[in-house]
Structure 1
Amino acid sequence: MTPSQLLGVLIISTLSTPLIGLLGRRIRRDRLLVSAFAISILSCSLILSVLSLFSLIHEDVMLAAFNDNPLPERPNLRADLLSIYMAAVFLGICLLILLSSAKFIDRNRVATYFSLILGMITSMIGVLFSEDFFTLFIFWEAMCICSYTFTSFNKERGEAVEAGYKYLIMSGAGAVTILFALSFLYGLTGTLNFRYLSESLSQAEENFVVHIAILMLLVGFGLQAGVVPFHTWLPDALCAAPSEISAFF
């Protein structure tokens, strides 16, 4: 499995997201054509991920990385059997969501809807393929930005705007907490790569700052993911967002 195959799932969705926006501006009323384009893009990503999964199994290769020997401070993407499998399952579920929601979206907003969905899917796949906290944080925050927008997608409703602001504030607090935690870890170890970070932290178990950083990571991701007891924004977001988007949450 080559790095180009590894990145293909990401690249297809990433490059197609702005194309959907442009297509929607040109043919704003043709909801079927815009929907078909988005669904075909997602289908290509799903097919590529399934082929990559069988390629890894057939070649008896446990992982594929964009850079097989990354420097400790260099961001990297890496996929193994588990992450490819999870990506394939996730893409399959997303394809079903797109197929079911295509006919219910307002014609004037269909391009925005599908652009946001592809952006969110790309970000989620990036999270699965990340090999370091820096890359994971970038994709995670991109996913959250799409989530904010989806929460207040029905902006003509006051409760949707309120839920979007509440989600933005809570998730922003989580992002700041995660950044502080990552700065502590990087200051202690000089790396955010999972492999090198694990080796460094195993030698610094007694350092009190390590425990503080781990606790801050749990709180930060808990705030953004709506994990109890940081879930106060989630009920409002689920009610305000389009029903199809609730499946993503």
Structure 2
Amino acid sequence: MAGEGRVTLHGMWASPYSKRVELALKVKGIEYEYVEEDLMNKSSLLLQYNPVHKKIPILVHSGKPIVESMVILEYIEETWSDGPRLLPEDPYERAKIRFWATFLHQQVHEVLVLVLKTDGEAQAKAMEQLHEKLKLLEEGIKGSFPGGSPAVNGENMGLLDIVICSYFGPYKVHEEVLGLKYLDSEKYPLVTSWVKSLAQYPAVKESTPPHEKSVALVRYFREKALQSPAGVL
């Protein structure tokens, strides 16, 4: 069967890209081995499996590596088709999910990183951009998903749930480090309730690192970024 064979995930505990693959594997009920990578001292296997980008996550299935988190999510969905679905069966509904997942992946994440690695006027400008993206996302959810949640069903997380959780799941960590609030329940009630409800899923709870550990790492990278003109995040 297509889903048979050993599964290994090479990742990093704080990476949103690694976290989304981990969540997808848990939602699907796929047994896997996890390999924590030191991104400051990349393993020979990481370089062998992903010689182009030299990044995590890397999913190795039956000895074959799959890279790029969004590609991996699609691979998991297609390979383990008998498990809980990450995407709806209807082509139009799938297209909407993919559109908003791409929006988060390509636009929201970029602005969120800018907020985390800047201060002063640059950060204020980045915050304006982030609020613009959140407003678009709020309106998009309202228009695209009348039920208020893009989950495939009421019990399992879908692909878009996983992507938004990977970015906004640690919002409390970001807000503590920044001293700023961006996930506002009055401005963005649907996005906020969506993120908070996802935090209650068992798979998310199992995958969430200790709060203080995450705060310490984000604070470290923010300080490093502020010390460097080009930033490091």
The structure with more radius of gyration: 1
Is TM > 0.5 for Structure 1 vs Structure 2? Answer: no
Whose helix proportion is higher, 1 or 2?
1
Whose strand proportion is higher, 1 or 2?
2
TM-score by length of 2: 0.31
